[in-house]
Amino acid sequence: MVLNLLLGQTLRFEGDPFQKPWQEVTHHRQDGAVLIKDGYIKKVGGRGELLSNFPTARVTDYGGDLIVPGFIDAHVHYPQTAIIASWGKRLIDWLNFYTFPEEVRLSDPIYAEQVANCYLDLALAHGTTTMASFCTTAPTSVTAYFEAAAMRGMRVVGGKTCMDRNAPKELIDTPQRAYDESKELIDEWHGKGRAIYAITPRFSPTSTPDQLEALGALWAERPECLMQTHLSEQFEEIAWVQDLFPTAIDYLDTYERYGLLGPRSVYGHSIHLKPREINRLSEVGASVVHCPTSNTFIGSGLFDLMGLSKAKVSLGLASDIGGGSNFSMLRTMAATYEIAQLQGKVLHPAQLLWLASEGSAKALHLDGKVGHLGPKIEADICVLNLNSTNAIDQRVKNANDFWETLFPTIMMGDDRAVRQVWIAGRTVD
Ligand code: GUN
Ligand code: ZN
């Protein structure tokens, strides 16, 4: 059995920097070390101590690079990889004009496999080691995703996107087919290797009440699965939901009344929430996912991160590819910072990094498995070069402390900042 010892700067959290002062929960070491054994982190400590206690370990010295958990993208659509940065539309038109036609193309299993491989390679190159992805309505698109992730040894969440109205006929299923096909995929994939299944109604406008009810029934039978969908992204969408569900109290109620609200539910966007919805999400322990580059790109609005964290709603962070405009969780953190600034709030770099690792892990109920630099956690790691471009490097030369050294990489970094990625204790080459 090989022991791997990684040397570099380390940053780890022992608590939530949104609920406690960041200084209390953040542990940075200039001379850090991470010991990996059998795919798990065994120890995190000081370089001198681990070098002398484990003299047979294979050492990789990253110098001044920063060792952090691999990033976790809590809401993404891998089938939209090839339509990222599509111009000129708001949500509903963007779905009809760009997204649905591309998702139809993934009905071809060979194309789906190609896109899944392309997406996962891009994610890894950007330091993202885990993601929760929507697939398309075609079960073969789910197979393509989980197979491509298994080939890379990745811990991923995914599910068949269910739609039985308001979408092209090629993408439409029925309540029964959504139930049967999702169930079959759960049996095949949930808990197989590192795969986790999420029951996935796209959003209330593309599911009839009958389909939402069928998926609620399936979730009641398989409560170990996650449930992922969209909530309150754009005003036009919210008005449409009101028309389609005239007796619902609000958008969240269109899910709750069909059994699609629970502690393991994960709602992307959740921008324009009413106080009742926020209280209910908090009460139930459901998660919401901030998708900042998507929210600005499609013009959806400003997510109330601080308000939701004050209400103790579980928070994750995501690229929302291809509504989102960048594969990098660094860029996603930068957009999170910028949106908070527009709301008069200042986020600390520790909070940004926490959201992209521990926060997303908690939102997906993967804490204790990934997203944390600590013993017994799966060894998915991202090593960041904090001087990756001339622009960053010249700013770092002026830095007064560690946070000033890290922040330029958060604001200006991309895949060039990713020195190395480890998946389950092995390097990704
Ligand atoms: N709402 C329903 N489907 C989608 C999607 O694919 N992307 C985004 N951003 N919002 C959605
Ligand atoms: Zn989405």
Q: 323-364, pLDDT tens digit by residue? A: 999 999 999 999 999 999 999 999 999 999 999 999 999 999
**261 contact partners, CB below 8 Å, separation of at least 6:** 252, 255, 280, 284, 286
Q: 7-38, pLDDT tens digit by residue? A: 999 999 999 999 999 999 999 999 999 999 99
Bridge partners, 316 (sequence order): 289
Contact 349, 407 (CB under 8 A): yes
Give the atom of ligand 1 at the shortest distance from the alpha carbon of 206.
2
How would CATH label the architecture of 3-70+372-427?
A: Roll (2.30)
Q: What is the pLDDT of residue 387?
A: 98
Rounded to the nearest angstrom, the distance between the alpha carbon of 148 and the centre of ligand 1 is 23
Contact 137, 163 (CB under 8 A): yes
Q: What ligand is nearest to the CA atom of residue 293?
A: 1
The DSSP-derived string for 211-263 is: HHHHHHHHHHH-TTSEEEEEES--HHHHHHHHHHSTT-SSHHHHHHTTT--ST
Q: How far is CA 417 from CA 35, 236, 420, in A?
A: 22, 38, 9
Q: Is the pLDDT of residue 371 over 80?
A: yes
Give the atom of ligand 1 at the shortest distance from the alpha carbon of 298.
9
**185 contact partners, CB below 8 Å, separation of at least 6:** 139, 142, 143, 159, 160, 197
Phi, psi of 316 (to 5 degrees): -120, 175
* CB atoms inside a 10 Å sphere around CB 177: 17
Ligand 1 pocket, residue 349 CB under 6 Å:
no
Ligand 1 pocket, residue 320 CB under 6 Å:
yes
Rounded to the nearest angstrom, the distance between the alpha carbon of 66 and the centre of ligand 2 is 30
Ranges of CATH 2.30.40.10 domains, the chain: 3-70+372-427
What ranges make up the beta strands (E) of 17-171? 26-37, 40-46, 58-69, 71-77, 128-134, 156-159, 161-162
Q: 86-114, pLDDT tens digit by residue? A: 999 999 999 999 999 999 999 999 999 99
Q: 171-204, pLDDT tens digit by residue? A: 999 999 999 999 999 999 999 999 999 999 999 9
Contact 58, 5 (CB under 8 A): yes
Contact 79, 135 (CB under 8 A): yes
Rounded to the nearest angstrom, the distance between the alpha carbon of 21 and the centre of ligand 2 is 31
Confidence of residue 1 (pLDDT cuts 50, 70, 90): confident
Mean pLDDT, rounded, of the chain: 98
Rounded to the nearest angstrom, the distance between the alpha carbon of 202 and the centre of ligand 1 is 7
For ligand 1, atom 8, which residue shows the shortest CA distance?
A: 323
Ligand 1 pocket, residue 233 CB under 6 Å:
yes
Q: What is the pLDDT of residue 201?
A: 99
How is domain 71-363 classified at the CATH fold level?
TIM Barrel (3.20.20)
Give the atom of ligand 1 at the shortest distance from the alpha carbon of 205.
2
For ligand 1, atom 9, which residue shows the shortest CA distance?
A: 323
Q: How far is CA 75 from CA 136, 317, 376, in A?
A: 14, 8, 25
Ranges of CATH 3.20.20.140 domains, the chain: 71-363
Ligand 1 pocket, residue 203 CB under 6 Å:
yes
Q: 49-78, pLDDT tens digit by residue? A: 999 999 999 999 999 999 999 999 999 999
> What's the length of the chain?
429
Confidence of residue 263 (pLDDT cuts 50, 70, 90): very high
Q: 143-177, pLDDT tens digit by residue? A: 999 999 999 999 999 999 999 999 999 999 999 99
Helix axes 209-221, 175-189, angle to 10 degrees: 30
